[in-house]
Chains A and B, each alone.
Chain A
Amino acid sequence: MTARMDNKFATLKAEGRPALVTYFMGGDPDYETSLQIMKALPEAGADVIELGAPFSDPMADGPAIQLAGQRSLKNGHSLKKTLDMARDFRQSDDTTPIVIMGYYNPIYIYGVERFLDDALEAGIDGLIIVDLPAEMDDELCIPARKRDINFIRLTTPTTDEKRLPKVLTNTSGFVYYVSMTGITGSALPDPSKIAGAVERIKKSTDLPICVGFGVKTAEHARLIGASADGVVVGTAIVNQVATSLDKQDRATADTVQSVATFVRGLATGVRSARLVAAE
C-alpha cells in the first residue's frame, strides 16, 4: 500500500535525513538465505527495500545483477516465490516499504490482474519495472495505481525538460533518478552534477527523489544523500553476496553477516549526509 511508503518518507523528512534504499536479488543464492538478508536490511539501517525479481534477460543490468539472477533462477526461484518472500518478511515487519524491481515479462505471464492482487496481499508497496516506460502505462502502471500500489519510475540524464512531465505523470511513491546513462554497477558520476539534476526534477514534482546507479561506498552514500531524498544501493550489495559464496555458489556462514555489515556502513554514510552538508 502507498501508506507505508508515504509514512516512511514523512518520518525521514521529520528526521531531516535521506532514505537508504537497498536492492538485493530475491532468491540469491537460495530462498532461505535471501529471506535472512531481507530481514537483516532494516535492522542494519535500510529504510526501503527493493526486492529484485530475477529475469533471464536483464537488459538494463550489469554483470553482477545478471549473475545474481542466474543463481536465483538456477535454484528454482520465480515471481511467485518473490511474492512468497515478501509475505514471509511481512510476518515480522509491517512498516518497511517493499518495492519489487524487475522486468515486465514474468508479470505479464503471471497475469497482470492476478499479480497485482497477490502483490497487494503479500505486502508489496511499489513496483519498478525497468522496461515499461511512460508510453506503456496502460500495461501495468495504471492497473497498479488503481490498487494503490506505487509505480516508481526511473528518470535518466536523457530525460529532458520536455519529456520529464510525461515521465512523472502516474509516478508515485518516489522518483528514482538514474544518475547516469548505462547499466547498473557502473562508475559513479560527479556528485555536483547529480545535485543539479535533483534540483531540476524537484521543480516538477513534490515526490521524494532517490538517486542510484554507481553508489558503492558509505562515502558515496553521504555525498549523494546531501542533495537527494534517498540513496539507492544495489550492485554493491549484490557483490557482497557474491563474494561471500563458496565455489559452488552456495551461501556460507558469512553471507548474511557481510551484507548486514556493509549496509550498516552505508546507513552511517546516509545519516551523516545532511550534517556534513550543513557545515
Chain B
Amino acid sequence: MNETPKPNSFRSGPDEDGRFGIFGGRFVAETLMPLILDLQAEWEKAKTDPEFQAELQYLNTHYTGRPSPLYFAERLTAELGGAKIYFKRDELNHTGSHKINNCLGQILLAKRMGKTRIIAETGAGQHGVASATVAARFGLPCVVYMGATDVERQAPNVFRMKLLGAEVRPVTSGHGTLKDAMNEALRDWVTNVDDTYYLIGTAAGPHPYPELVREFQSVIGKETKEQMMAAEGRLPDMLVAAVGGGSNAIGLFHPFLDDDSVQIVGVEAGGKGLDGEEHCASLTAGSPGVLHGNRTYLLQDGDGQIKEGHSISAGLDYPGIGPEHSWLKDVGRVEYVPIMDDEALAAFQMLTRTEGIIPALEPSHALAEVIKRAPKMGKDQIIVMNLCGRGDKDIFTVGKILGMGL
C-alpha cells in the first residue's frame, strides 16, 4: 500500500473527485454518472444556501427533536470506576436512530432536484423506516429494497415501513442481504434515471454521497462539542462510536478530527471472531477494494469477490465501510477495533440495568469498548459515546439468544 501522507487538516476531504487519499471516488456505470454529477451540482448549491439550511434546521428541531441530549451516565460511570461517560442520545430522535438526520437532508435535496420517487436500501430496517418516514412527510412514493433474509428477521420494521406507505421489495438475488439490497437499489436507479432519487443510508457509495451524508450527520458532533463545553468547559478525551457503513461515527467524529487532544475510536462488528468468516470487521480484517461506487476497505477473497459479513446486529452487517473511515484508519487519526457478538450482548444488558436505557445492538458494540476502556482511564477524563439507536427493534433477537420467547 502507498504510504498516506499526513494532511494539514483531517477535515478537508474529499477532493473534487471525491477522494479521501486513495479511497472514495466514483466507480459507477456510465448510466449513473450524469445522475451523480447532477446530484453533486445540486449539493454544492444547497450546502451554501441559507434557505436550505434553515429548512433542514427547522425539521431537525421540530420534527426529529434535535438537539439530542448529551447525557452523563452517572451510574455506569460509578460502576466502571474510571472515566466519566457521556452518551450522545441520538436514540431519542424521531424514528429511533441517527438515520433520520441523513434522510431529512437528502429528501430536501431530492425535492430541490424535482425528483418524484424515492428508493432506498436497508439492512436492519432502520434506514428503511427513516426513508419511509421522510417520504411520507413529503408525500413521495418510496420503494425500499431489503434482503429477503432481513425481511424475515426484521418483521416489525417491515410492518412499520408498510404502515408509512412504502413498498418493501424483498431481494433474493445473491445472498439476500444488505449488499444485495444495495445492488438492487442501484439497478432500480439505473433503470429509472429520470424521476428517481436514491437515498443512500450511510456515508458510502459514489461521490458525493459520503460527503453529503457526513455533513447531514455532523450535526451530532457539532452539538456534542457545544454541549460538552457547556457541561464540562472542555473537550472530551475520547469519542467512541460503532461503525457499520459508518455514518453515525463520522457524524460524531468529523467536527473533532482536528482537535489533537481528542482520541477517537471506531468499533466494528467482530461477530463470532476474526479468525473465522463470521464477522464484519472490514477495517481490521479486510483490504482495500472497489464496491458500490467507492474504493474502501472490504471483506473479500483473493480473487476480489466480496464476502458476506456476519454480525448479531443487522445494522453492522455490511462487508464494506465508508471511504473516509478507510482513510482515517490509514492516516492513523482514528483507531478501529472489533467487538464480538457476545461482548455487545453483555454491554446491551448492562446498560439496560444500570441506566434504564435499552440500546440498539449497534451502539452496544461501542458500549462494550467503553466498558473495556473507561476503568483504565482517570476519573477526571471524559468519554463521549454515540448512543445512535434504541433497542426496541432488537428485543426479539436478544430474546431469542437469551432463550426467552417473545
Contacts and interface: CB of A to CB of B under 8 A. Distances in A.
Interface of A: 54-60, 62-63, 66, 70, 73, 78-80, 103-110, 130-136, 153-160, 163, 167, 178, 181-183, 186
Contacts of A134: 30, 33
Contact of B17 (A63, A135, A157): A135
Nearest to B17: A135
A158 B31 contact: yes
B27 A154 contact: no
Nearest to A73: B305
Chain B CB within 10 A, most for which of A79, A155, A158: A158
A187 to B, nearest CB: 11
A155 to B, nearest CB: 6
A156 B30 contact: yes
Given A57-B306, A133-B30, A159-B30, A105 B289 contact: yes
A105 B35 contact: no
B158 interface: no
Contacts of B289: 105, 108-109
Contacts of B190: 59-60, 181-183
A109 B31 contact: no
13 contacts: A56-B174, A57-B174, A59-B186, A79-B304, A105-B300, A105-B304, A131-B28, A133-B28, A153-B30, A158-B34, A158-B35, A159-B30, A183-B187
A153 B30 CA distance: 8
Interface string B166-198: 000000011000011001001100111100000
Interface residues of B, number: 37
A131 B179 contact: no
A153 B304 CA distance: 22
Nearest to A135: B26
Nearest to A106: B304
A105 B30 contact: no
Chain A CB within 10 A, most for which of B183, B295, B304: B304
A210 to B, nearest CB: 15
B38 to A, nearest CB: 10
A54 B301 CA distance: 13
B290 A104 contact: yes
A181 B188 CA distance: 10
B222 interface: no
Contacts of B187: 59-60, 62, 182-183
B303 A78 contact: yes
B29 A60 contact: yes
A154 B33 CA distance: 11
A59 B25 CA distance: 17
B291 interface: yes
A108 B183 CA distance: 20
Contacts of A159: 30, 33-34
Contacts of B193: 158, 181
B34 to A, nearest CB: 5
B388 to A, nearest CB: 27
A206 B291 CA distance: 33
A258 to B, nearest CB: 24
Given A66-B174, A131-B293, A133-B26, 7 more contacts: A57-B180, A79-B303, A108-B295, A109-B302, A133-B28, A158-B193, A159-B33
Nearest to B38: A158
B137 to A, nearest CB: 29
A128 to B, nearest CB: 11
A48 B387 CA distance: 57
Chain B CB within 10 A, most for which of A54, A56, A130, A134: A56
A163 B25 CA distance: 18
Contacts of A154: 29-31
B333 to A, nearest CB: 25
Interface string B111-143: 000000000000000000000000000000000
